[in-house]
Amino acid sequence: MTTRSADSAKAVLEARDVTRTYRMGEVDVHALRGVDFALFQGEFLVLVGASGSGKSTLMNILGGLDRPTSGSVLFDGKDLARAGDRELTEFRRRHVGFVFQFYNLMPSLTARENVALVTEIARDPLAPAEALEMVGLGHRLDHFPSQLSGGEQQRVAVARAIAKRPEILLCDEPTGALDYRSGVVVLEVIERVNQELGTTTAVITHNAPIAAMANRVVILHDGEVEEERRNESRTPASEIRW
Amino acid sequence: MSLSTLNRKLLRNLRETWAQVATIALVVAAGVAAFVALQATVDSLQGSRDRYYEEFRFGDVFASLERAPDPVARQLEGIPGVTGIDTRLVAPVRIPIEATTQPPIGEVVGLPPGGDAPLNRVLLLEGRMMEEGRADEALLLEPFARRFGIVPGDTLPVIMEGTLRQVRIVGIANSPEYVYPAPPGGDAIPDEERFAALWMDREAVAPTFRMEGAFNDVVLRLGPGASLPAVLAEVDRILDPYGGRGAVARDRHRSNYFLDMRFEQLSGMATSVPLVFLAVAAFLLNVVLSRIINLQRGEIAAMKALGYHNREIGLYYGKYVAVVVLLGTVGGFLLGGWMGQGITSTFLRFFGLPLLEYSVPASTFIPAFAVALAFGLVGAFVALRRILRLSPAEAMSPEAPARYRPSFLERLGLGNLFGTSGRMILRELSRHPVRTTLSSVGVALAVGIIIMGRFSMDAMDFIIDSEFYLASREDVSVSLVGPTSDRAVKEVRGIPGVRFAEGLRVTPVRMASDHRSRDVPLYGYPDENRLRILLDGEGRRVPMPVGGVVLTRTLAEMLGVEAGDTVRVRLREGRADERTLVVTGTVTQAFGLQGHMRLEDLNQLLGEDPAVNQLRLALDRGSYPEVERRLSEMPRVMEVTRKEQAVARMRALSGDTQRVLVLVLSLFGAVIAVGVVYNNARVALSVRARDLGSLRVLGFTRREVSTILVGEQMIQVLVAIPFGLWIGRILAGLLAGSIDQEEYRFPLLISTETYAFAVSVVLAAAVASAFLVRRRLDKLDLIGVLKTR
Ligand SMILES: Nc1ncnc2c1ncn2[C@@H]1O[C@H](COP(=O)(O)OP(=O)(O)O)[C@@H](O)[C@H]1O
Ligand SMILES: [Mg+2]
């Protein structure tokens, strides 16, 4: 069930009746059971749900890391569900930025170089230093991941994700591996990116209080969209407690 | 119960890592195969030869002389240590057959009635013995008969003492003294096409050669404990009055000399090459196993957590290594046995040795297995110990977050030369300096081994080039029946088509300095010699000494003399006395122990009028057939040799061996390169799957990601190549050293083609195996890499 937002902005990315079934030996695991879902231009969306409810599966499909078992995923008039590996790679390369729970930085590259890794293959990127400045790491450009704290590493990951100026920023449990303080800083950074660059942002979390930051909240339960609501007033990341 | 579970796990582990197991086992197999094949070849050849020599009572001492009456034999028999004697008639003949452009030369050997010689017995292969008293029946040497398709019942024209006879060939035979059919004469190359032995009834042919009641050849057998030098000296003393030409032991026997030379080459190779092989295989085994075990860190930790003792885990991996090594050794043994059979039969055919006796020495299995196992275990346990030292909890968590720093090149300020991916590769390599170095050493060894295999071809080319083209510029050389007036040179110059001719005098001498001596040919050259040129080590022309003698470098080394020293020269023809000559210099030649001097001086030394016994001719293009025809009409001409044929013969002699060597060593090099690169890339892929997967997630294409993985391997290969070229030179030097022969110097020259060939083989193998791993990269689980830390 898709509900158009009040200002009826354009849907950047749209999933229609998406299912995803994993075959585990003899049994089928239905991770998604027919999900309709859209991401609208410029919005800040939080996807919440219990562990195992299918959030990551949905995000991986939206981000072109995986294909649905059935249904379609529309981006710019094209169906990603039917795209080949080459097209999916191209999609990720041009249009999506990812932030993951475990940062996935290259340990052999410095912060700046980790960002450069992406800007080198992007069309109209930010300068790596600029991107790192934006996440508050302008002073740690030449540090290797092993020399950075978890929160700092995650901010490098955010800088890396946004440096290519993607249309969409997908963050899967970005605070999942962080302590509360670092987590808030990372959320603030994501919030800033959304506001300053206007990047359509989706944050996935099993941590319900975070939903208060969003324009819009989608709750997933057992592979289905259980509820969708708009926040009339948003709480800044800095004021969120968990 | 737990042990059998562990064993089941072992089997599964082996199956899961089968590709790695296979590549390591292949490396071990290649090393073992080379070792076994060459050992088996040498063993079998030596076995065959020894049995042949023993059963056919090959002599220990040989001497030829002008002519001695039969009773002299009793004197020889009386020499202490002599247990058997045969005094024989051996006479040179010519065989004017039309099948060739040049008439072959032959040797008639007289046999006692019934054909059963007491020594150097004849092996009748086909047909029958000649009948007693018949001067027109003979047995023919097998290689020659085979070459010309002569069978019992055919007749062969033979010129004996200037008279043409038709000889009926009644049988085909061989004998230990003609295993390597070499025509008599100083520097002849064995040639089945140019030389035949004919066994005939001695009584019947003796009158032809004026040898009734006399002999001109002696074969002796010595008992155990006999003093060889004493016997040789005694034989020389007794035969001296009868024109003795100097007794020689087996090591100087014409056929056995060449056989020994080849055997020595072969056994030099059979020890040095496999040692290198085994060492390299063992080294790789060590490197690769330690990496594979590192990959199983998690499993090892789990076993520890479950309460397995370090000892049990050690035993488990010991078994893993043993299985891999056993697979490799058994495979290598079978492969080596099979290869050895091929090589042995090639050589046996080549040597004309009968009584093929092939066996793979079972004793080679244990050392091969033990060496490989030892290296494998060391490699495995070094890696294992590192892991076992950790607590299970530590070991179960992934290896501590990798710490990187800017690589050496970047610290030099060269960082900007490389893109971000380039820097990732560099830092990855410099973070594991030992691993990177070992891999590069492995690849370098692969390059080196291939160079070693192909270098003998270069050496042969060089030898042929310098000996046959640079130093000797004639097209044809002619042996004369004996010393001939130098008018023969003018006569030959008159033949149409002969551009230039010069005459040489060659005489056998014994050269000595202190207690060291050698029987060598001494050459005399005309003053204005143009066709045979003496060159020193740098390719500069060495002037012909006035009154002195120039020695080949090898001969000078063997006699322990230098320019300025003197040598004693004992003549074997003409006046049999001893002279002292000043050595004026040395020349570098691949073949031969020789002395060189002015023709005039040599004639004077021999106390003869100006005479020559060899002619060297330079011909006009296309005039050979006519010149050859004219030469063969001249009565003093014994043999005509065309340089082209000598070169072709030379190449054929070494061609087979070299091809086998190049093939085997190239394969081995390729196997090593695959073993290193494939396993490296596999390990890199497992260790860094997460990084590489993350790159894919970020939108890197497969090609871009594989560039990083493959590039990492390729850099190690590229770094290894120059090093490999250097190792190749060293290995080639080792090989050259191990077959450095008295009469056969291998120069250490390696051609660009050889270097290029080695590099191409290794690069091809490396690229192929890197791309094999790339295929796995395509199956990388993108989502999986996001879930774990
Ligand atoms: N690769 C996979 N193979 C099998 N089952 C999977 C796989 N990935 C996810 N699942 C299952 O699908 C369901 C949804 O998982 P996921 O999307 O990761 O949930 P969430 O991110 O909300 O915790 C879970 O039951 C999970 O076990
Ligand atoms: Mg999840």
- ipTM more than 0.90? no
B672: confidence class by pLDDT, cuts 50, 70, 90: confident
Mutate which of A21, A23, A29 for ligand 1 pocket (most atoms within 8 A of beta carbon) = A29
H or E segment to which residue B195 belongs? strand B195-201
B576: confidence class by pLDDT, cuts 50, 70, 90: low
Amino acid at site B657? T
Chain B residue whose CA is closest to A118: B698
Q: How far is A4 from chain B (nearest CA, A)?
A: 30
Interchain proximity A109–B704, CB inside 8 Å: no
Residue range B632-653, pLDDT digits in tens: 888 888 778 788 877 777 777 6
DSSP strand pairing (B516-525 vs B595-598): parallel
The whole-angstrom separation of Cα B155 and Cα B367 is 55
Q: Which chain A residues are Cβ-neighbours of B701 within 8 angstroms?
A: 86, 89, 93
Q: How far is A239 from chain B (nearest CA, A)?
A: 29
Interchain proximity A92–B403, CB inside 8 Å: no
pLDDT at position B315 is: 87
Nearest residue by C-alpha to atom 16 in ligand 1? A54
The β-bridge partners of B520 are: B509
Residue B88 in tokens? 């024989």
pTM: 0.67
Exposure b/e, B486-519, CB count within 10 A at least 16 = b: bebbebbeebebbeebbbbbbbbbbbbbeeebbb
- Taking the CA of A29 as reference, the closest ligand is 1
Strands of the sheet with B214-222, listed across from one edge: B82-88, B214-222, B61-69, B248-249
Query: To which residue do tokens 């293959």 refer?
Result: A121
B739: confidence class by pLDDT, cuts 50, 70, 90: low
CA A227 → CA A1, A49, B355, B506, B522, distances in Å?
9, 10, 94, 112, 110
DSSP strand pairing (A216-221 vs B155-160): unpaired
Query: Does residue B374 surpass a pLDDT of 50?
Result: yes
Query: To which residue do tokens 């000797």 refer?
Result: B472
B222: confidence class by pLDDT, cuts 50, 70, 90: very high
Exposure b/e, B724-762, CB count within 10 A at least 16 = b: bbebbbebbeebbebbebbbbbbeebbeeebbebbbebb
CA B573 → CA B106, B509, B550, distances in Å?
21, 8, 20
- Domain layout of chain B by residue ranges: 471-646
Residue A196 at interface with chain B, using a CB cutoff of 8 Å: no
A8-235 CATH = 3.40.50.300
Average pLDDT, chain B: 82
Q: How far is B712 from chain A (nearest CA, A)?
A: 13
Whole-number Å distance, alpha carbon A101 to ligand 1 midpoint, is: 15
Beta-carbon count within 10 A of B207 CB:
10
Residue B83 at interface with chain A, using a CB cutoff of 8 Å: no
Q: What is the mean pLDDT of residues A164-169?
A: 93
Whole-number Å distance, alpha carbon B786 to ligand 2 midpoint, is: 10
Q: Which chain A residues are Cβ-neighbours of B786 within 8 angstroms?
A: 65, 100-102, 104, 172
Nearest residue by C-alpha to atom 13 in ligand 1? A31
Beta-carbon count within 10 A of A127 CB:
13
Chain B residue whose CA is closest to A122: B699
Query: Half-sphere exposure of residue B169, counting CA atoms within 13 Å on the CB side?
Result: 26
Whole-number Å distance, alpha carbon A239 to ligand 2 midpoint, is: 25
Q: What is the mean pLDDT of residues B488-510?
A: 87
Q: What is the mean pLDDT of residues B221-241?
A: 92
Q: What is the mean pLDDT of residues B11-28?
A: 83
Residue range B413-449, pLDDT digits in tens: 666 666 777 888 888 888 878 778 888 888 898 899 8
Query: Does residue B113 surpass a pLDDT of 60?
Result: yes
- Taking the CA of A54 as reference, the closest ligand is 1
B354: confidence class by pLDDT, cuts 50, 70, 90: low
pLDDT at position A129 is: 95
Residue range A87-110, pLDDT digits in tens: 888 898 899 999 988 888 888 888
Beta-carbon count within 10 A of B105 CB:
20
Whole-number Å distance, alpha carbon B200 to ligand 1 midpoint, is: 97
Query: Does residue B355 surpass a pLDDT of 60?
Result: no
Residue A70 at interface with chain B, using a CB cutoff of 8 Å: no
The β-bridge partners of B63 are: B218
Could you tell me if B141 and B665 are in contact, meaning their C-beta atoms sit under 8 angstroms apart?
Answer: no
The whole-angstrom separation of Cα A172 and Cα A155 is 14
pLDDT at position B574 is: 65
- Taking the CA of A50 as reference, the closest ligand is 1
CB of A145 shorter than 6 A to ligand 1: no
Q: Which chain A residues are Cβ-neighbours of B696 within 8 angstroms?
A: 89
- Taking the CA of A49 as reference, the closest ligand is 1
Report residue B169 CA to chain centroid gap.
36
* Mutant choice from A108, A152, A167, A178 vs B, greatest count of B C-beta within 10 A: A108
pLDDT at position B399 is: 54
The whole-angstrom separation of Cα A21 and Cα A43 is 29
Q: What are the φ/ψ torsions at residue B198 (nearest 5 degrees)?
A: -125, 120
The whole-angstrom separation of Cα B672 and Cα A12 is 54
Q: Which chain A residues are Cβ-neighbours of B691 within 8 angstroms?
A: 106-108
* Mutant choice from A80, A106, A171 vs B, greatest count of B C-beta within 10 A: A106
Instruction: Point out the ligand 1 atom lying closest to the alpha carbon of residue B787.
Output: 18
Q: What are the φ/ψ torsions at residue B783 (nearest 5 degrees)?
A: -80, -35
CB of A55 shorter than 6 A to ligand 1: yes
Residue B265 in tokens? 């080459």
The whole-angstrom separation of Cα B492 and Cα B481 is 15
Q: What is the mean pLDDT of residues B269-279?
A: 70
- Taking the CA of A60 as reference, the closest ligand is 1
Q: What is the mean pLDDT of residues A150-176?
A: 93
Q: How far is A50 from chain B (nearest CA, A)?
A: 17
Q: How far is B329 from chain A (nearest CA, A)?
A: 40
Residue A28 at interface with chain B, using a CB cutoff of 8 Å: no
Q: Over pLDDT 90: what percentage of chain B?
A: 19
Query: Among A55-64, B126-135, B747-756, where is mean pLDDT lowest?
Result: B747-756
Burial of B243 (0-12, 13-18, 19+ CB in 10 A): middle
CB of A31 shorter than 6 A to ligand 1: yes
Query: Does residue B532 surpass a pLDDT of 60?
Result: yes
Nearest residue by C-alpha to atom 6 in ligand 1? A22
CB of A28 shorter than 6 A to ligand 1: no
The whole-angstrom separation of Cα A65 and Cα A83 is 11
The whole-angstrom separation of Cα B684 and Cα B20 is 13
Residue A128 at interface with chain B, using a CB cutoff of 8 Å: no
Q: Which is more confidently placed, B544 or B197? A: B197
Q: Over pLDDT 70: what percentage of chain B?
A: 88
Q: How far is A47 from chain B (nearest CA, A)?
A: 18
CB of A127 shorter than 6 A to ligand 1: no
Residue B434 in tokens? 């030992």
Among A45-54, B731-740, B762-771, the range with the most confident prediction by mean pLDDT is A45-54
Those residues whose beta carbon sits under 5 angstroms from the ion ligand 2 are A 56
CB of A50 shorter than 6 A to ligand 1: no
Whole-number Å distance, alpha carbon A55 to ligand 2 midpoint, is: 6
CA quadruple A120, A124, A129, A132: dihedral, nearest 10: -100
H or E segment to which residue B84 belongs? strand B82-88
Mutate which of A56, A61, A206 for ligand 1 pocket (most atoms within 8 A of beta carbon) = A56
Residue range B162-195, pLDDT digits in tens: 888 999 999 999 899 988 777 665 445 556 677 8
Return the CA Rg of chain B.
34
